[in-house]
Amino acid sequence: MDYKLLQYETDERVATITFNNPDRYNAFNSSMKNEFRNAISKADQDEDIRVIIVTGAGGKAFSTGYDLTEAIDIPRQSPIAWRRRITDDFEFTYTVWACSKPVIAQIEGYCLAGALEFAQMCDIRYCSEDSQFGVVESRFSGGVVTLAMPWIMGARCRELIYTGDMIAANEAKEMGLVNRVFPKDRLRIETMNLAKRMSLIAMACLQGNKRAINQTYDIMGFRAATANGIETCVLLEAIDSPEYKDFDLLRRKIGVKEALKWRDSQFKKYE
């Protein structure tokens, strides 16, 4: 498959998949999601690859989440249409969890909304010191498609989800959201060094340990809980809250970027 919105590279036993649409802050659209499904499957099936790194091009963003322009024509009060869309997004994030090999999210810049959900489904998260994280979809009455955050951060996730605030790299590390923070100019090198150390472990050991860890979460109800979260997300997308109506009107009149600025301006006096 020829990739238009991804880059796929290998270095010894490590594959790197790069979201490659920096002009759009690597936002996830349908084409990118489909390409990624192919790429992660390719790396998983390659017997020479033991570890996978996922990152974003351009230096400004790992990704800002799902492309809001794609959902603009879905009728708000259409649960069936929203369930179809949200289930596809959910299954996209699950591709890295289901991959038999360790997947590292190498995060630089913004990691927001659906991209943060995706990163949390990876086995490990390393980030640059300028990274920023946020459940920003809360601010326009959007649901969290893949609700993995409680499993990573525990009750500390409530503040992030309830406020839609963004946090910086060091705070994300302190809260357990990321494993390590590196200087921006060292992120790629340090992530690759760690990935290559992992890649020296026997394939059977890596895959066996990942399977055992995932099964531990599943026994505790992870898969059932995240799947149940889809229904809450569908409900939130299919109701017309006053906050969403204001945001949606501006999005259609002046564009997504300006609507997002307006939304954030509502919170400024309390920050």
- Total residue count of the chain as it appears in this document: 271
196/108 Cα distance (integer angstroms): 20
90/46 Cα distance (integer angstroms): 25
**CB of 7 closer than 8 Å to CB of 57:** yes
Burial class (CB in 10 A: 0-12, 13-18, 19+), 265: exposed
- Neighbour count for residue 62 (Cβ, 10 Å): 31
- Neighbour count for residue 99 (Cβ, 10 Å): 19
Active-site pick, 9, 35, 47, 137: 137
- Does residue 154 come out as left (phi exceeding 0), alpha (psi in the -120 to 50 range) or beta? left
24/32 Cα distance (integer angstroms): 12
Alpha helices in the chain (DSSP H): 30-45, 79-98, 114-121, 149-153, 157-163, 169-174, 187-199, 203-219, 222-237, 242-254, 256-265
- In the annotation, is 12 catalytic? no
Residue 271's contacts (CB-CB under 8 Å, 6 or more residues apart) are: 165
- In the annotation, is 190 catalytic? no
Active-site pick, 117, 129, 174, 243: 117
What residues are annotated to the active site? 117, 137
